Amino acid sequence: MIRTVPALLTALFTLLLSVGAHAQSIIVASTTSTEQSGLFRHILPIFTAASGVEVRVVALGTGQALDVGRRGDADVVFVHDWQAEERFVTDGYGVERLAVMYNDFVLIGPSRDPVGVRGNDIAVALTGLASSNAAIISRGDKSGTHAAELRYWETAGVGENKGRGYRECGCGMGQALNMAASSGAYVLSDRGTWLSFKNRADLAVLVEGDTRLFNQYGVMLVNPERHPHVKAEAGQKFIDWLVSDDGQAAIASYRIAGEQLFFPNAGE
């Protein structure tokens, strides 16, 4: 019986170490597109198994996610508006911005395309939608997708006159797609959320392939010098994993119906 005590103590110590490791957790402020596409459900268990770090995701529009980081209410920010991300770092809220992955934006609309915008030029398509007063759903939530949409309107030279059918929902990508499906409207979406979206009704991809529709995602550690409570070590562990060979392979392996949703490009 005495001989078993060291073995029991060793087992207990190992168990305590395991519990302690898995008790470590971080908060990641990210976008609705990474959450609603299902990417996090795919990659986070892989990361946690490898690191012992649990990840809690707060999914918001990119602008709101960056605000969460500015307040120090997250340890890591993982979003897709590179200009806003660079300002986040320059202003001292983030330590460094690293590229992680990309996909693209697509213009979704009724498959019959009543306005006739189908093609590969987003500026031409938006000009046609505005001039025809077509029903358009905009996220209007300062997300990365909304920021991209505003850039495309500017490129199209439309200005404030986006037509009488233009509506801002102030909502996430999934809700915006649901609104478009129920009303037969046009909407700009990231491809990842579109591929995972189930309630498509009569919607289809109408505009794609324009190089301006490129959609880059970046990750940043919230600056612990500004917010000392930030879990910098665990947060950096997550960032390092995302840009590592293992993390990049996990991202690349996420597919829906055989189609890859995100394409890793760390280091580019």
CATH of the domain at 115: 3.40.190.10
- pLDDT at position 22 is 47
Residue 12 confidence (pLDDT): 39
- Same domain for 161 and 32, yes or no, is no
Query: What is the distance between the alpha carbons of residues 267 and 50, in angstroms, rounded to a whole number?
Result: 22
Whether residues 189 and 144 share a domain: the answer is yes
Which two structure tokens, joined as six digits, stand for 39? Answer: 């990417």
* Contact assessment for residue 105 and residue 194, using Cβ atoms and an 8 Å cutoff: no
The per-residue pLDDT for 268 is 77
In a shared domain, residues 137 and 162: yes
pLDDT at 160: 86
Provide the domain limits for residue 201.
Answer: 104-213
Longest dimension (CA), the chain: 87
What parts of the chain have a pLDDT lower than 70? 1-23
pLDDT of amino acid 60: 94
**109 and 193 together in one domain:** yes
- Examine the domain organization and report whether 177 and 125 are in the same domain: yes
Alpha helices by DSSP H, the chain: 4-23, 32-36, 39-51, 62-70, 82-90, 122-131, 144-156, 173-183, 191-196, 232-243, 245-252
Q: What is the Cβ-side half-sphere exposure of residue 15, based on CA atoms within 13 angstroms?
A: 6
What pLDDT was estimated at residue 93?
98
Do 120 and 202 fall into the same domain? yes
**pTM for this entry:** 0.86
Q: What is residue 140's predicted lDDT score, i.e. its pLDDT?
A: 94
